[in-house]
């Protein structure tokens, strides 16, 4: 692990000349162990269609047992009727003085088609300072790092004050009906995974386009995922004799009103802290705007300017957006039915029922029926206590001096919403810094900087030790 001075890793040239890029020779034993686990996990397809989480969970279990964890503490748990939906639960025993910590991550990945990718998505390719593969970043890097670190602790004879429970789940990417993974474990094996708090994906860190370290993220809270079906029905008729009362027109006009609407601006403890800290990292108008929205009352023009950046907008308001349309049954018939899917991402403490009422009010047409497609999973943001934040700041300052720690709200959804909902405060952190373009997560040519994998491993190694105490 090299220490990085200031927030400057200037250019790709520096990465290319770094010993870790392209060569395994320069790796420490712990890094080499991680690389092997990571490669093995990535090369087991765990997508929902043709993949097999159980195979990945078993591979991980074998690694942990070979690394010295007792057989009885390493389990692969698949739900009945889901032989390929296995999860791994492994317990690294401490003195038991305190309640366990959960090291959470998911084994499954989003689909990836070989013909669309530049490289085989299920082969770990190391090229120009990056690892490329489906799952390279989301989320096999973190799962592999947790496992490699447990093995490293074991070799070092580390005895924490709490048990460390690695939970590697299936079906995290199946939204909203994730029934085989963390939901299943919470329901049927709660005692096996019960923890005081959990570390999870959704944190990491952000680089700018020149590879400079902008901030180390600690994610505290997720938005609530809620989808609605909008439907207009109509008797229809012959399209040569149209009338104004048309199902498609009703729906389209309502969707246009929704598209123009902004839900109210609202800050939580997490997002207030996010904008406070980001206002010191940002420059010029953006920095001034971030300050201006923190005042009472917040500045409306500053809100509007910041909202042009999707992440900012998602951080300070609920969003609802049309994602699918389906209408009509023949080119020469008036539509009898028009349907749209609207996906909402609701601020953690906002009322889901209230959002539905707002939707109806904004659509402003009682011909448009609004129906939720599923029960929401609420996830109140976990508190960012000193006990949680302190170790992240300390280890962050050791590894990346001068790089600030910034709390974030996740606009997306992870397994964390279920653990939070079950009373296990869950925080996103990995120490794995990513490029500003999203690194191909859920998309094509997913990648992770080689350096980020090993930095994240070291960050997690140290931060978990600080949370767990002992020696
Ligand atoms: Zn993920």
* Span 420-448, pLDDT tens digits: 999 999 999 999 999 998 888 988 999 99
**Sheet strand arrangement including 224-233:** 319-327, 337-346, 224-233, 369-372
| CA 438 to ligand 1 centroid distance, Å | 12
| Cβ neighbours of residue 112 closer than 8 Å, sequence gap 6 or more | 47, 121, 122, 134, 446
Instruction: Give the Å distance between the CA of 135 and the centre of ligand 1.
Output: 8
Q: Which residues surround ligand 1, an ion (CB under 5 A)?
A: 138-139, 201
Dist CA 109 CA 417 (whole Å): 18
- Span from the CA of 244 to the centroid of ligand 1 (angstroms): 46
pLDDT of res. 2: 33
Ranking 19-23, 72-76, 343-347 by mean pLDDT, the lowest is 19-23
pLDDT in tens, 401-417: 999 999 999 998 899 99
Residue with tokens 């890094």: 31
Contact 12, 136 (CB under 8 A): no
Residue environment code for 319-337, b if the CB has 16+ CB neighbours within 10 A, otherwise e = bbebeeeebbeeeeebbbb
Looking at residue 25, its pLDDT comes to 59
Q: Please state whether the predicted TM-score (pTM) of the whole model is above 0.85.
A: yes
Residue entry with tokens 């994730």: 178
Expressed in angstroms and rounded, the spacing between residue 234 Cα and the centre of ligand 1 is 41
In the chain, what is the straight-line distance between the N-terminal and C-terminal CA atoms, in Å? Answer: 21
Quick one: pLDDT band at residue 43, thresholds 50, 70, 90? very high
pLDDT digits (tens, 9 = 90+) for 255-303: 999 999 999 999 999 999 999 999 999 999 999 999 999 999 999 999 9
Which of 208, 237, 250, 262 lies closest to 10 in space, CA to CA?
208
pLDDT for residue 450: 97
Residue 13: per-residue pLDDT: 31
Q: How far is the CA of 137 from the centre of ligand 1 (A)?
A: 8
- For residue 8, the model assigns a pLDDT of 30
CA distance 279 to 213: 16
What is the 281 CA–ligand 1 centroid distance (Å)?
27
Give the span between the Cα atoms of 443 and 445, in whole angstroms.
Answer: 7
pLDDT surpassing 90 at residue 83: yes
Of the candidate ranges 249-253, 294-298, 437-441, 459-463, the one whose mean pLDDT is the lowest: 437-441
Give 92-142 pLDDT, tens digit per residue.
999 999 999 999 999 999 999 999 999 999 999 999 999 999 999 999 999
Which of 3-7, 155-159, 466-470 has the least mean pLDDT?
3-7
Structure-token match 């949680």, residue found: 388
> What is the DSSP code string of 436-457?
TT-TTTTSSS-EEEHHHHHHHH
| Per-residue pLDDT tens over the stretch 193-240 | 999 999 999 999 999 999 999 999 999 999 999 999 999 999 999 999
How much distance in Å is there from the Cα of 140 to the middle of ligand 1?
9
Ligand 1 centroid–CA 142 distance in Å is 10
């Amino acid at each position: 692990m090299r220490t990085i001075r200031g927030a400057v890793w200037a250019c790709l040239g520096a990465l290319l000349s770094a010993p870790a890029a392209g060569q395994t020779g320069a790796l420490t034993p712990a890094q080499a162990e991680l690389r092997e686990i990571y490669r093995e996990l990535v090369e087991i397809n765990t997508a929902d269609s043709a993949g097999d989480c159980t195979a990945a969970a078993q591979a991980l279990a074998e690694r942990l047992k070979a690394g010295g964890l007792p057989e009885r503490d390493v389990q692969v748990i698949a739900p009945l009727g889901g032989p390929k939906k296995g999860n791994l639960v492994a317990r690294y025993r401490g003195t038991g003085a305190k309640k366990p910590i959960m090291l959470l991550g998911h084994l499954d990945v989003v689909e990836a088609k070989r013909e669309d990718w530049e490289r085989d998505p299920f082969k770990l390719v190391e090229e120009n300072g990056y690892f490329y593969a489906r799952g390279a970043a989301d989320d096999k890097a973190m799962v592999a790092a947790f496992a490699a670190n447990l093995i490293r602790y074991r070799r070092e004879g580390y005895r924490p004050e709490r048990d460390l429970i690695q939970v590697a789940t299936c079906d995290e990417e199946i939204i909203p009906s994730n029934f085989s993974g963390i939901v299943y474990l919470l329901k049927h094996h709660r005692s096996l995974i019960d923890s005081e708090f959990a570390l999870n994906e959704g944190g990491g860190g952000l680089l700018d386009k020149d590879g400079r370290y902008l901030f180390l993220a600690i994610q505290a809270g997720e938005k609530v995922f809620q989808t609605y079906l909008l439907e207009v029905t109509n008797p229809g008729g012959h399209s040569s004799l149209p009338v104004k009362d048309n199902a498609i027109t009703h729906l389209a006009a309502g969707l246009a009103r929704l598209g123009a609407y902004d839900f109210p601006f609202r800050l939580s403890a997490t997002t207030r802290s996010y904008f406070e800290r980001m206002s010191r990292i940002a420059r010029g108008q953006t920095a001034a705007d971030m300050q201006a929205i923190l005042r009472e009352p917040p500045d409306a023009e500053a809100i509007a300017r910041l909202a042009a950046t999707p992440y900012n907008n998602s951080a300070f308001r609920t969003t609802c957006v049309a994602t699918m349309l389906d209408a009509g049954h023949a080119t020469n018939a008036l539509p009898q039915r028009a349907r749209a899917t609207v996906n909402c991402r609701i601020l953690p403490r906002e009322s889901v029922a209230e959002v539905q009422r707002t939707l109806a009010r904004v659509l402003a047409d009682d011909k448009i029926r609004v129906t939720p497609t599923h029960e929401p999973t609420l996830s109140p943001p976990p508190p960012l206590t000193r006990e949680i934040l302190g170790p992240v700041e300390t280890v962050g300052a050791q590894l990346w001096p001068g790089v600030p720690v910034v709390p974030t709200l996740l606009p997306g959804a992870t397994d964390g919403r279920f653990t939070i909902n079950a009373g296990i405060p869950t925080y996103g952190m990995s120490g794995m810094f990513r490029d500003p373009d999203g690194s191909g997560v859920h998309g094509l040519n997913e990648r992770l900087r080689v350096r980020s994998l090993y930095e994240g491993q070291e960050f997690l190694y140290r931060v978990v030790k600080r949370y767990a105490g002992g020696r």
